[in-house]
Amino acid sequence: MSLDESISHQSLLKVKVWRGKEDGQWMNYEVPARENQTVLDVVSEIQRKLEPGLAYRYACRVGVCGSCAMTVNGKPRWTCRTHVKKVSGTGELTIEPLRNLPRIKDLVCDLAPFIDTWQKAGAPFSGIQTRHQEPAKVDPGSKARKAADAGLQCINCAVCYSACDVVSWDKDYIGPAGLNRAWTLINDARHGKRAETFNKAFGEGGCGSCHSQGNCTRHCPIGLSPSESITGLKKSALFGLPKV
Amino acid sequence: MERYLFLAQRLTAMVLGPLVLIHLGLILYAVEGGLTASKILSRTRGSVGWGAFYGLFVIMAAIHGPIGLRNVLNEWTSLPKTATLIITLGLGLLLLILGARSVVAVVGLGG
Ligand code: SF4
Ligand code: SF4
Ligand code: FES
């Protein structure tokens, strides 16, 4: 399939896109290769001009929301922040949904199991103070606060979850993002259930299953380090909860 | 439980590290020095030190190995978690019994 005659002299990008659910198939498309083009641009161009029924997700297009995550040439990425040139040395692209999550249609997967892992890791914040009390004074330079701050910017994109082999082997494993979230809470003086969160993060499917190879950290688009947070959790098993 | 298994595995690894090195050094020493089985046994029989050394080795290995194997089984098979626990508990017991037998054979009971 190619676009209209006017661009036939332009070089074309060969794109393989997954269509359907688990039992779907690869479809081949060709779109013009442009000087400046993100993988999301390519997906949008296919959907607008060649395959109107193609399902995919995006919202902000500028690396803020995390909803455009897909597997591009075998690696989980934010497609809006991935320039085609960066990933397609061969002039070819393969685009499929994130790994480790049930597929819904084409490039869209069901994030519910991923969000559930946050609950499993004891993620809900539980305040100790009422609105009538003075806000807690937290020293921004303290070790615990720095540890919490380091993991706080996570936007639930599931890229790390998709990159993790242990998640693909062990469906009970909480995975990097949930454990990272637990570690930020355990280091938060205002969280009332630190011990409970820790017990969950170290329960069945908890941080003890992590291999510490850091594939999650390698792929996190905003440079967070879930593996470092997990190391913090593991150390706490020996040395007790961090002081907040 | 996961937390205690994790700790047990790490702590036994810390103990096993030097024990394994000494054990390997000992094998080299015995082979290079041309020690025969009977000469080795004459030194180990009745030795409280070697009894304690290999006794500790066996206990640590019987704890450490099965915990790791349980993780491998949980990741690589679809066996239910209670099954992997029972299998690896069994393995731990087996290691303990076989290990204890060899310690008794090398050190002798009551010298
Ligand atoms: S370091 Fe742990 S959480 Fe991160 S990818 Fe590896 S096993 Fe998964
Ligand atoms: S840790 Fe990074 S990769 Fe993982 S969900 Fe959060 S933002 Fe995405
Ligand atoms: S569309 Fe929002 S991060 Fe890509």
Q: Do B7 and A238 touch (CB under 8 A)?
A: yes
Q: Is the ipTM of this complex over 0.85?
A: no
The residue with tokens 């010298």 is B111
Boundaries of domain holding A95: 3-109
Asked, for residue A244, whether it belongs to a domain, the answer is: no
The answer on pLDDT for A1 being more than 60 is no
Count other Cβ atoms within 10 Å, centred on residue A235.
11
Q: pLDDT tens digits, residue range A73-127?
A: 999 999 999 999 989 777 789 999 999 999 999 999 999 999 999 989 988 899 9
Domain-terminating residue out of A94, A109, A124:
A109
User: Closest ligand 2 atom, CA of A219?
Assistant: 3
Nearest residue, CB atoms, A170 vs list B1, B2, B75 = B75
CA B3, CA B82: separation in Å to the nearest integer?
Answer: 17
Exposure class string for A87-100: b at 16+ Cβ within 10 A, else e: bbeeeebbbbbbbb
Query: What residues in B contact A208, CB-CB < 8 Å?
Result: 2-3, 5-6
Give residue A81 CA to ligand 3 midpoint distance, Å. 7
Residue A87 sits in the same domain as residue A61:
yes
Could you give the residue ranges of the DSSP H alpha helices within chain A?
39-45, 84-87, 112-120, 143-151, 159-163, 165-169, 176-186, 194-201, 215-219, 226-239
> Is the domain of A54 the same as that of A141?
no
Q: Please tell me the distance from the alpha carbon of residue A14 to that of residue A68, in angstroms, as a whole number.
A: 20
Answer yes or no: is pLDDT of A5 > 80. Answer: no
Check whether residue A132 and residue A219 sit in a common domain: yes
Per-residue pLDDT tens over the stretch B96-110 = 999 999 999 988 865
SS3 (DSSP) at A212: coil
Residues in Cβ contact with A26 at an 8 Å cutoff, skipping those fewer than 6 apart:
A16, A17, A18, A19, A94
Measured CA to CA, the distance from residue A205 to residue A201 in angstroms comes to 8
pLDDT for res A10 = 67
**Local confidence band at A9 (pLDDT 50, 70, 90 cut-offs):** low
A244 CB near ligand 2 (under 6 Å): no
**Do A28 and A92 sit in the same domain of this protein?**
yes
Distance A181 CA to ligand 1 centre (A): 14
Q: Do residue A9 and residue A90 come from a single domain?
A: yes
Domains of chain B: 2-107 (1.20.1300)
Q: Is the CB of A166 under 6 A from ligand 1?
A: yes
| pLDDT tens-place string over residues A40-88 | 999 999 999 999 999 999 999 999 999 999 999 999 999 999 999 989 7
How many domains does one find in chain A?
2
Q: Output the domain CATH number for residue A185.
A: 1.10.1060.10
- Cα–Cα distance measured from residue A70 to residue A159, given in angstroms and rounded to the nearest whole number: 8
Verify that A183 and A221 share a domain, yes or no. Answer: yes
Q: pLDDT digits over A135-174, tens only?
A: 888 899 999 999 999 999 999 999 999 999 999 998 889 9
Task: Say if A19 falls within a structural domain.
Answer: yes
- Locate B111 and state its tokens: 């010298």
